[in-house]
Structure 1
Amino acid sequence: MPESAHVTEEKTLSESNPFPDSIPERLRAQWNFLIEVDKLKTVLRQSPLAAVERRENDAEHSWHLALMVPVLAEYADEPIDIGRTIQLVVVHDLIEIYAGDTPLYDAEAGRDQEARERAAADRLFPLLPDDQATHFRELWDEFEQRRTPEARFAKAMDRLQPFLLNWMARGGTWQAPGVTADDVRRRKSVIGDASGALWEAASELIAEGERRGWMRPGQG
């Protein structure tokens, strides 16, 4: 099962110290949601940090994606709404507080990923007031379906960010058992759905990482 301390937890965090009823109901629901997603800071990913020798957590990953969007937006093949794209990248991993992180190269963990994550979305977003619950769920669905330029670019950032961290780690998760350069190319190719320039640059790093022995050789 993907690593998460909260997959089976039933109560929300705010239930341990509820906000008083004197707080307006809508605001109380919003605060409850914001407290609940504090759990994102506890969900560890496989990616190593570049700055220190430890793995990043989901909240750190989401922050990094939110910064990458405005920094790299100029490389998008289609015009994107930067604000909406930032919303997509900060919302898409929230469901992992219940579903856990699913490592990219772990085929076994990925078998039930979609079902786990949909169940988590069904549980998490309704903590918000109805209008915001609908909006956040629509953002999450948009990211997953990748039908808009913003969603495609958001997904590209989601794949590029750990890729850059693995480069800095001289392999990182590329060295997981059974992973080859071809696996990395296949898993990261969605970057090219949003940006030919970024995918070209990433492909160069894959080839160089393969030459340096940071990943197992591919067939090509």
Structure 2
Amino acid sequence: MIKERLLKDIEFIVELDKMKSILRQTSLINEDRREDDAQHSWHISVMAMILGEYSNEKIDVCKVIKMLLTHDLVEIFAGDTFCYDKVGNEDKKERENLAAEKIFGMLEEDKGRELRVLWDEFEDGKTSEALFAASMDRLQPMLSNYYNNGGTWKKFNVAKEDIYKRIAPVKKSSDELWGFVENMIEDAYDKGLISK
């Protein structure tokens, strides 16, 4: 007889396949195809492994990776909200909280609670790990935009000031990465990839 716990775990894992169908605004570098949530989560998790040494504070990289693999699971039910979409972001928190209850509620209480705690910590952005995870989440689309000749920055006429606001977690988590980010934004502006 197959245990109920295992059946719930498998049902959850099958549900996660939907991540591969949730398209983000960001395109893959040098391709016309938009990335999906699964690709994004994988990419930023590897970034955390590689760039973790640049954190200003000692961080638990494994915990950061868990956060990064968990943070967009709610989009299975809430959908992806483009970061520069002011109207879409008005009710994002409410939609994502309802989605978090649903997705994490699919698991047995202990596992669902563990993932929910990671998700909440990421959303609160107060710990060193959450701050670094947010930095990876924000840096990855910036790299795509920069190496895609402006990408969504150009497509949606995003102002430099808005880009600086969006990437702010990097300034708090890593002096070295912040220097890189500032250089990239200013170079993108000089090249006309972003607006004033």
Q: TM-score, normalised by structure 2?
A: 0.97
Is 2:177 the counterpart of 1:198?
yes
Shift of 1:52: 2.4
> In the aligned structure 2, how far is the partner of 1:129 from the partner of 1:177?
42
SS of 1:46's equivalent in the other structure is strand
Shift of 1:163: 0.5
Q: Which residue of 1 aligns with 2:90?
A: 111
Structure 1 stretches (4+) deviating beyond 6 angstroms?
none
Structure-2 residue corresponding to 1:84:
63
Q: 1:124 aligns with which of 103, 108, 117?
A: 103
Q: After TM superposition, list the pairs within 5 Å mapping 1:5-84 onto structure 2.
A: 22-84=1-63
Give the counterpart of 1:145 among 124, 130, 143.
124
Aligned AA (1:84): K
Shift in Å, 1:189: 1.4
SS at match of 1:127: coil
Q: Provide the rounded CA distance (Å) in 1 between the counterparts of 2:63 and 2:91.
A: 29
Determine which structure has the larger helix proportion and give its number: 2
Report SS of the residue matched to 1:179.
Answer: coil
> Alignment length, in residue pairs?
196
**Unmatched 5+ stretches in structure 1:** 1-21
Larger Rg: 1
RMSD: 1.0
Aligned identity (percent) is 41
User: In structure 1, the residue corresponding to 2:45 is in which secondary structure?
Assistant: helix
Q: Give the unaligned 5+ runs of structure 2.
A: none
Q: Which digits, 9 at most, give the CA deviation of each residue in 1:49-103, with x for residues without a partner?
A: 0152210000000000110111000100100111111100000000001101010
Match of 2:152 in 1: 173
- The residue type equivalent to 1:111 in the other structure is E
Letter of the structure 2 residue corresponding to residue 114 of structure 1: K
- Normalised by the length of structure 1, the TM-score is 0.87
